[in-house]
Chain A
Amino acid sequence: MAVTLELLNVSKIFRKDRELVRAVDNVSMTVAPGEMVTFLGPSGCGKTTTLRMVAGFETPSGGTITIDGQDVTNVPVNRRDIGFVFQNYALFPHMSVFENVAYGLRVKGGREEEIRRKVREGLDLVGLAKAENRFPNQLSGGEQQRVALARVLVLQPRVLLMDEPLSNLDAKLRIHMRTEIRRIQKHLDITCLYVTHDQGEALTMSDRIMVMNRGKVEQIGAPLDIYSDPSSLFVADFIGQANIIPGKVLSAEGGAVSVSLPDISVSVRAVKDASFVPGDEAAVVVRPENLLPSSGDGMKGTILTATFLGGRMEYEVALESGRTVLSFDPFLPGKRMWAEGEAVSLLFDPAVAVALKA
């Protein structure tokens, strides 16, 4: 039975070179039973520290952490009933694969046949049934990763915590393991926190994403919402690629704002919980795939670079204001292509752009 996990005003203050550093600053969130939440952010944003506090490796400086309604803030890690998958796997190098997976079961105690059965089941689940007598250094990175996963899953932990588990794998295997981990997590119906700095991983795997920056939560939401409705410039820039085009607010009404940009004026959606008045500075976020080149009306600019990528053309365009923007144009045979140095106009569909406070 999956459980709820709750963080309430959790903070962590480190003392570094006699200065206090707020590594994690008032983080609150509730993870629903069986939900998979990703902590996403640049390195040093506090995502791993938050995860380690949930695990019990670090004690919060303030706030409480509850699992299934029980306050576990000061419960030692070995009595929290969590499963933790490390970035470097942390397999015990002096034990066989079987003994690694059996380790936690032996701590719990129980009959030997029972332990053997569970270990075999766990290794079956990750597709490593035949490797049980091998040692960690005889396995490839992907196999070590699976053993690390099996080692925590056989314990049926209430919460599964993963700290950048795929960052040491090569690109192809990483994409395969994403779906594999997600499949197992759904199959076992287990509440899961997943730390990553890879936005692709976060977008494909999670039910919800928590974007962090400098110890603070920037935005929590479903991948789709985060991508299409970034609540801050940081989120817009960090998730996917984004053109941030500054302009002036002409009028604002309900959820829509009219913004004057170089050469054009558009009416776009305003970000949630933001109120604009005419004359405000605003930033319009336009994804490159929504910014298309043409020879008609639009923002005037000059092509800086033109790169053919197979499925699309990528243009880097210098606007007359001096700002450089990206434009992705789907490629079809016979389509007009621009060369470096040519003058071009850029237009976008205002329905999928969003205005933020600058």
Chain B
Amino acid sequence: MNRPSALSAPEKVSPLKRDPALLPALAAIWISLAVFVLYPVLRLFLMTFMVEGQFSFANLGAVLDSWYDRQAFLNSLWLAGAVSFAGTVLGYIYAFAVTRIPLPSWLKWFLGAVTTLPLISPPFTSSIALTLSLGPNGILLKFFGIENFSFYGFWGTWMSETLTYFPVSFLTLAAVLSAIDPNLEDAGLSLGASPGRVFRTVTLPLSTPGIANSVLLLFASSLADFATPLVLAGHSFPVLPTQAYLQITGLYDLRGGAALSFLLLLPAMGVYALQRFWVGRKNYVTISGKTGSRSGFKSKGKLAEGLVLGVCFAVTAFILYLYSLILWGALVKVWGVDNSMTWENFRYVFTHGRKAIADTLSIAAVATPLGGLMAVVVGYIAQRKRFFGTRAMEFFSMLNYALPGTVVGIAYVIAFNEKPILLTGTMTILVAAYMFRYHAAGIRAVIASLHQIDPSIEEASASLGAGAARTFFRVTVPLVVPAVLMGMRYLFIHCMTAISATIFLVSVKWSLLTTRILECMTELQFAQACAFSVVLILLVFGATAVLTGLTRFATRRISGEGGRG
């Protein structure tokens, strides 16, 4: 304990000396980042470019010479472009409906709630439901009497990915649109512009940073998506992530897989750089600043409103239909053949799938708190302690998140399959893969929330005699708890549902629910796949409900602008 009366002799005070706890924390972070982020990526590069101890483009050349692999690269880009366009349009329509059209609040809540379904579901959910509807013998095809329709390939993948990822665009754009002061639109109207003109000249230009951000986010998501194309793309429409997966698991060709994932890495890093240095900076301006008093929303014209709401309701109904199909599929004996109800599929899940459930839950239970802790420390140092290396630290802790999951998975397989760090088949490798990939959301949330908290709150604590550790634990940590819980919720959801990186890392000892679903799909056990999905969704729902409740509780305690005057 620091006694304020004990004044020591004058000394030079560096940031490290002021916070004696900083040095071990920094060391721990850098060591873990070196092992689980830098080292695997380095090994991936070495695997791609080193042939028999020599630097060489041979591996990359082999991939580029293959017509099929080249096609996969172009398909990936084309698919990502199409998904990001369609998803952003859909997301903008939803965001516009929720933020700009006077709707009853329960309806807004309902629209928001339906869009969170794809966000917290395992990646196969919409693929399974779409297959049941539009695949061979699909019920929609039967219903409309369509024959000779091939759903596999570009269209199926595009549709499924758009439905899965448009909620991301919705959340991004809703935040941007609600930050635009409606008074600006009122000003446009009062100057004589029609609602359509106001939208074209005021609302749309002001939301361009959000649109750009959404396009980039969806592009990256689609580029990295592994599960959907694996189920829906088929052989006629190869994409890079699945190609890399098949190269490794089918042909045991680590070099080819590494080269393919390097090809995938290039556009992904381009998108990441654009986001960070272009959109990220632009976006910051719109968030700050107070808005004037909110005016009521003016009508945008009956036709436009009807069109927007029509699209929203149609898509919402389709999402609900897909999810009820999953539930129904889990409850019938044999899909399309014997439609009598049974609990048999759930019994299967809780007997044959018990180990997968237990494994997935324990991995998530270990990774979530660890990731939360890491997010607090990294976020705090990045936002509050600006000195040499903090920028690099922030960059590397976000790197695995920016890389496509397939790339991370392949890098981990290459790095941790042999000494000195042999981790294949352990729980550690799965926990690390999830944690270093998905703690990024927590770090961002912590940085954003520290950005909001005036440093004078911490200075107040210091001026009242508290040391750095006391200030950190008694003042800073309680104030960022809501942000950390939010980050932990994100991490937990992805520990339960993400598959792209960890599909390479599962073993006999540690299996995952998502890989079980994939096995069911490849063995055409649709009923069991549905039942697994239902159980997984319910588990995620339960856990997120608990974490959301905790967040609310924590937020209420520190709500308001108390310390900010």
Residues of chain A touching chain B, judged by Cβ–Cβ distance below 8 Å, are: 55-57, 59, 70-84, 86-94, 103-104, 107-109, 135-139, 141, 144, 151-152, 155, 168
Q: Which residues of B sit under 8 angstroms from A81, Cβ to Cβ? A: 4-5, 7, 465
Cross-interface CB contact of A79 among B6, B460, B557, B565, cutoff 8 Å: B6
Q: Which residues of B sit under 8 angstroms from A78, Cβ to Cβ? A: 2, 4, 462-467
Q: Which of B511-565 contact A (CB under 8 A)?
A: 557-565
CB nearest neighbor in A for B466: A107
Closest 4 CB pairs of A and B: A137-B560, A136-B562, A104-B464, A93-B562
Contact assessment for A136 and B479 in the assembled complex, using a CB-CB cutoff below 8 Å:
no
Q: Does B250 sit at the interface, judged by CB under 8 A?
A: no
Q: Which residues of A sit under 8 angstroms from B461, Cβ to Cβ? A: 92, 103
- Give a binary string over B1-23; 1 marks a CB under 8 Å from any A CB, 0 the rest: 11111111011110000100000
User: How far, in angstroms, from A78 to B10 measured CA to CA in the complex?
Assistant: 14
Residues A90 and B457 in contact in the complex (CB < 8 Å), given A78-B462, A78-B463? yes
User: How far, in angstroms, from A73 to B466 measured CA to CA in the complex?
Assistant: 19
Cross-interface CB contact of A77 among B462, B561, B565, cutoff 8 Å: B462
CB within 8 Å: A-B pair count: 136
Question: How distant is A216 from chain B, measured CB to nearest CB, in Å?
Answer: 26
Residues A88 and B563 in contact in the complex (CB < 8 Å), given A57-B459, A104-B465, A151-B464? yes
Contact assessment for B7 and A89 in the assembled complex, using a CB-CB cutoff below 8 Å:
no
Q: Which residues of B sit under 8 angstroms from A84, Cβ to Cβ? A: 459-460, 463
Q: Which residues of B sit under 8 angstroms from A55, Cβ to Cβ? A: 459, 463
Q: Does B475 sit at the interface, judged by CB under 8 A?
A: yes
Residues A77 and B7 in contact in the complex (CB < 8 Å), given A90-B456, A92-B475, A107-B1? no
Q: Which residues of A sit under 8 angstroms from B4, Cβ to Cβ? A: 78-81, 107-108, 155
CB nearest neighbor in B for A59: B13
Q: How many residues of B contact A (CB 8 A)?
A: 39
Question: How distant is B14 from chain A, measured CB to nearest CB, in Å?
Answer: 10
CB nearest neighbor in A for B9: A71
Question: How distant is A7 from chain B, measured CB to nearest CB, in Å?
Answer: 15
Contact assessment for A137 and B565 in the assembled complex, using a CB-CB cutoff below 8 Å:
no
Q: Does B336 sit at the interface, judged by CB under 8 A?
A: no
Q: Which residues of A sit under 8 angstroms from B462, Cβ to Cβ? A: 56-57, 76-78
Q: Which residues of B sit under 8 angstroms from A108, Cβ to Cβ? A: 1, 3-4, 465
Q: Does B470 sit at the interface, judged by CB under 8 A?
A: yes
Q: Does B454 sit at the interface, judged by CB under 8 A?
A: yes
Q: Does B306 sit at the interface, judged by CB under 8 A?
A: no
Listed by A's residue number, 15 A-B pairs whose Cβ atoms lie within 8 Å are A55-B463, A72-B7, A78-B467, A79-B7, A80-B463, A86-B460, A88-B564, A92-B457, A94-B478, A103-B466, A103-B474, A108-B1, A135-B562, A137-B561, A168-B565
Contact assessment for B463 and A141 in the assembled complex, using a CB-CB cutoff below 8 Å:
no
User: How far, in angstroms, from A78 to B565 measured CA to CA in the complex?
Assistant: 23
Cross-interface CB contact of A94 among B6, B467, B479, cutoff 8 Å: B479
Contact assessment for A74 and B465 in the assembled complex, using a CB-CB cutoff below 8 Å:
no
Residues A90 and B467 in contact in the complex (CB < 8 Å), given A59-B13, A74-B10, A108-B3? no
Q: Which residues of A sit under 8 angstroms from B479, Cβ to Cβ? A: 93-94
Q: Which residues of B sit under 8 angstroms from A74, Cβ to Cβ? A: 10-13
User: How far, in angstroms, from A320 to B479 measured CA to CA in the complex?
Assistant: 64
Contact assessment for B1 and A77 in the assembled complex, using a CB-CB cutoff below 8 Å:
no
Additional A-B contacts beyond A56-B463, A77-B459 (13; CB < 8 A) = A56-B462, A57-B463, A71-B10, A74-B12, A78-B467, A89-B563, A90-B563, A93-B457, A93-B479, A107-B1, A135-B560, A137-B559, A138-B562
Contact assessment for B565 and A88 in the assembled complex, using a CB-CB cutoff below 8 Å:
yes
User: How far, in angstroms, from A139 to B11 measured CA to CA in the complex?
Assistant: 41
Q: Which residues of A sit under 8 angstroms from B565, Cβ to Cβ? A: 87-89, 141, 144, 168
Cross-interface CB contact of A75 among B7, B474, B475, B562, cutoff 8 Å: B7
User: How far, in angstroms, from A75 to B474 measured CA to CA in the complex?
Assistant: 22
Q: Which residues of A sit under 8 angstroms from B557, Cβ to Cβ? A: 94
User: How far, in angstroms, from A74 to B562 measured CA to CA in the complex?
Assistant: 32
Contact assessment for B470 and A107 in the assembled complex, using a CB-CB cutoff below 8 Å:
yes
Q: Which of B366-389 contact A (CB under 8 A)?
A: none
